[in-house]
Chain A
Amino acid sequence: MVQYNFKKITVVPNGKDFVDIILSRTQRQTPTVVHKGYAISRLRQFYMRKVKYTQQNFHDKLSTIIDEFPRLDDIHPFYGDLLHVLYNKDHYKLALGQINTARNLIGKIAKDYVKLLKYGDSLYRCKCLKVAALGRMCTVLKRVGPSLAYLEQVRQHMARLPSIDPNTRTILICGYPNVGKSSFINKITRADVDVQPYAFTTKSLFVGHTDYKYLRYQVIDTPGILDRPFEDRNIIEMCSITALAHLRAAILFFLDISGSCGYSIAQQAALFHSIKSLFMNKPLIIVCNKTDLQPLEGISEEDRKLVMEMKSEALKTVIGQGGEATSDDSVLLTMSTLTEEGVISVKNAACERLLDQRVEVKMKSKKINDCLNRFHVAIPKPRDQKERPPCIPQAVLEAKAKEAAEKEKRKTEKDLENENGGAGVYSMNLRKHYILANDEWKEDILPEILDGHNVYDFIDPDILRRVEELEREEGIRQAEEENDEFEIDGAELTPEQQAALAEIRKKKSLLIQQHRIKKSNAESRPTVPRKFDKDKQYTSERMGRQLSKLGLDPSLAIQRMRSRSVSRRGRKRDRSPEGADGGDRMDVDGDTPGKKQRLSRSRSRSRSVSRPPHEVVPGEGLKDSAQKIKAIKLAKKSVKKRNKEARRGEADRVIPTLKPKHLYSGKRSTGKTDRR
């Protein structure tokens, strides 16, 4: 079965948007760069490609529009008529026709301009041609704009049409406005149609689905029809007329007995007679609604006569189908949608009638024999005349009766809850139904946690026995322990030994501390000679104290130390002339001898010999070796002190400014960062 689903039609853009889409796509999907210096064939090809691409896109998009919109002649006449009623067939066809001509025109334009482009001789001319071609195509489309807008509106409306399958089982509801058609459909299906006291609340067809005997039935609610000549009807009424005309459905004609819709029974009967031609060959049921306001028996004589007339008409359709003229139960029914009495019976009657009719039609058709051949219903033949009704054992009957009685007597938890204040206020006592050895224990609270343990982990039926065992064992162990409590006390230290030990340990830790400090400062600490000790570590008093602490007599040592210092100074003076004598071994006059000696030295020995350290060669503006020696000594003396104090000398590298501004300011030359 084809599904009449108009939701899948692509959106129709309006004229301006259409042009924008196509042109931007051309811009994006074709190459954009071209230069004057290219070969002429390449330039022509470039522009021809653009023109052809644009034309192709227009063609594609317009073709999709034309194809997707349904052709009114090709679809089911119900939809064809419905679309005609709603959108006007001619206007629709015209719009689509215009789109078609636009498509052809664009094709022609493209063909012409491509032909012209083949003979373009410069970039500028080709470009002008392309601009002209695209411009004309866009103008064509702009002219078609109103049609596009109309088609977009049509598409939007079509997408919202109810999906009615014209071939399946359908029940159609018709009648005057406000008689109760929408209320009925709300009752039997899950459709949610607006029900309001004013007329023409329902403005279009609504579909609901309902089930009967495991089959699905469509129920269609129509807008109310007024009694007017055909030509005067408006679009809304035409919708329902179309539905009545084209759909093969069971028809429920609604009659408002009470007249509260604002129309009398006479008017409704008149309507009935004017559209009864549409009820040809369709199972018709006349439904008298709103019987809660006015029962069928209570209406006046003329009204009753009219109703009977309608009924006879309806009976004709039954007979026309070949059915028996049974009761008027299947033709004239009463119900009330407000009190819901008779609603289900109406539905069942309609469904039954429709089903019968459809089955009959199917039986008469040629295809039925294929179906019939496929299945066979087996009916067992009766063995004898004995009656065999279903048998229910007595016990089961009694049990059923008892259950029914109990159900009524028993008070449920829900009732209890409602009594005591409702869902939020009352919470049921879950412990009520506990099965325990002693019912007093039901309300007991057992703690879950005790002293950092989970109580539930300890619960064990044997626990008493095991704890006793444990305690016994513990008692035994404790007794054992007491027996070997005595620990052999070794040689305890005497108090003076302890004092000595403490002192030793103190001294050791001090040494370790000092060593650690020394080690951590080693790299940055200058090696200053003892002469300059600023901590006053190397004083004679200190030495004396330390020696006396060790138990030695320091007086001799101090004396020795003092005497030694004086002698040390004196010995220094004695030593230096020796050094000078050693140096004066060579005379100044003995320059040449010096040289000779050097040369001879070099001649006599095969290997070169470096000069001994104290040999002084005269030169550099000085008179003789002695003077040089003195000069050297003076120089050395002047730096000696500073060197010993480990201070910076002349030859030591000096950085006058640690952070020169020109290196630390400004941006990097490559522009990587703003700072250095």
Chain B
Amino acid sequence: MRLEKCWFCSSTVYPGHGIQFVRNDAKIFRFCRSKCHKNFKMKRNPRKVKWTKAYRRVHGKDMTQDSTFEFERKRNRPERYDRNLAETVLKAIPKIDKIRVTREERHHKNRMKGKKEKLQKEAAKELEQSISLVKAPSALQKDPSLTLPQKIKVSVSQRQSEDNNAMEE
């Protein structure tokens, strides 16, 4: 029993899930669910479909090369069973996983490094340009700070309301 990788989105296919397609040239395509299968049938390139791992790797969103990936490799020649080796392997797998996860996080953080600064600059620019939407220029002249104006109450007299009624037929 093996866990396979989906050809389209690179997620793991557990036993009992998905579909396997064998082409006439004997190449096997495994899919984790019908979404991937249908996309494949539509001849979509996974490197161009945003939500797949292939896209993320190609466009630098996820980590591509790392030594933690070297640990997991499909081996064709079986090793003779050794209890100690088995113990070490079983202990090592979670450690490797943890390291890989931390490295991916680091990669993500690096990617997002300049974001805060950029956001701040954009905010400042927007404030400067669009302040007229919330505060009239004349009010701004009087009070150059960015405090929002308070609402001014206007009283409407009775006579004028009659005129209004006559106007609105």
Contacts and interface: CB of A to CB of B under 8 A. Distances in A.
Given A503-B134, A549-B151, A554-B152, A441 B81 contact: yes
Interface in B105-154: 106, 113, 116-117, 120-121, 123-124, 126-127, 130-131, 133-136, 138-140, 143, 145-149, 151-154
A504 B134 contact: yes
Contact of A467 (B3, B79, B95): B95
B58 interface: no
Interface of A: 434-438, 440-441, 444, 446-461, 463-464, 466-467, 470-471, 473-474, 477-478, 481, 487-493, 496-497, 499-501, 503-505, 507-508, 531, 539-541, 544-545, 547-555, 558, 562, 565-566
Nearest to B149: A551
Given A531-B168, A549-B151, A565-B163, A459 B75 contact: yes
B49 interface: no
Contacts of A493: 120, 123-124
Contacts, number: 178
Secondary structure type dominating chain B contacts: helix
A470 B72 contact: no
Contacts of B139: 550-552
Contact of B154 (A452, A503, A539, A555): A555
A551 B127 contact: no
B154 A550 contact: no
A80 to B, nearest CB: 61
Contacts of A452: 3, 12
Contacts of B1: 448-449
B146 A496 contact: yes
B23 interface: no
A497 B146 CA distance: 6
B151 to A, nearest CB: 5
Contacts of A487: 113, 116
B79 A459 contact: yes
B22 interface: no
Contact of B80 (A436, A499, A539): A436
B99 interface: yes
14 contacts: A452-B3, A453-B97, A455-B89, A455-B93, A463-B92, A466-B71, A490-B117, A497-B127, A497-B146, A500-B131, A550-B136, A551-B138, A551-B149, A562-B163
B127 A500 contact: yes
Contacts of A541: 156
B11 to A, nearest CB: 10
Nearest to A544: B154
Given A457-B72, A551-B149, A464 B88 contact: yes
Nearest to B94: A451
B74 interface: yes
